[in-house]
Amino acid sequence: MVLHRQTTPGMYCWHLNMNHIPLELIHIEPDGFHVMFHASVNGLKANTLIDTGASKTILDFSRAAHYLGDMEIKPFSKLFTGVGSNQIKTYISKIHTMRIGQKEFSNLDVLLIDLAAINQTYAIYDLPRIDMVLGGDLLVQMKALIDYPGKKLIVH
């Protein structure tokens, strides 16, 4: 049971149905960090990067067959860009089931993007590959809180 202070002074509420997912802080540079955890995509472990600046949840296109099997993959018709880049070739598919802690999602839309450049950089530093990026769509839906000192993701 966790006590959270609300915006009104003196008001507190108890949150009973929260999951605490362990996080790993990945050192990127002397003062840089990425935040990762393990999710389950269709029953398979996925190294997942939390990106609060990403609007949508993304699966690495090169890992789509591994995680999605024969699910249909279609071109994503909306403009999608990353920081400092041109339009990114993007596809959309569905994840049958995804689990984050005890929270389960079914028939979840997911964008597919080639994460090779990021994973090549990670490989240089001997860091784990990124299979998926958890974006704002699910972070907001789960009412997620990132506890950096406690190294945990708290979801409702």
Domains parsed from the chain with CATH numbers? 19-155 (2.40.70.10)
Q: What is the mean pLDDT of residues 5-24?
A: 64
- Residue 41 has a pLDDT of 98
What are the structure tokens assigned to 92, written together? Answer: 């959309």
Q: CA-to-CA distance for 62 and 139, rounded, in angstroms?
A: 24
Q: What are phi and psi of 17, to 5 degrees?
A: -105, 55
pLDDT given at position 50: 98
pTM of the predicted model over 0.85: no
pLDDT tens track for 27-48: 887 788 999 999 999 999 999 9
pLDDT, residue 11, reads: 41
- What number is the average pLDDT over the span 122-132? 93
Q: Higher confidence at residue 80 or residue 60?
A: 60
Nearest to 143 by CA among 155, 134, 152: 155
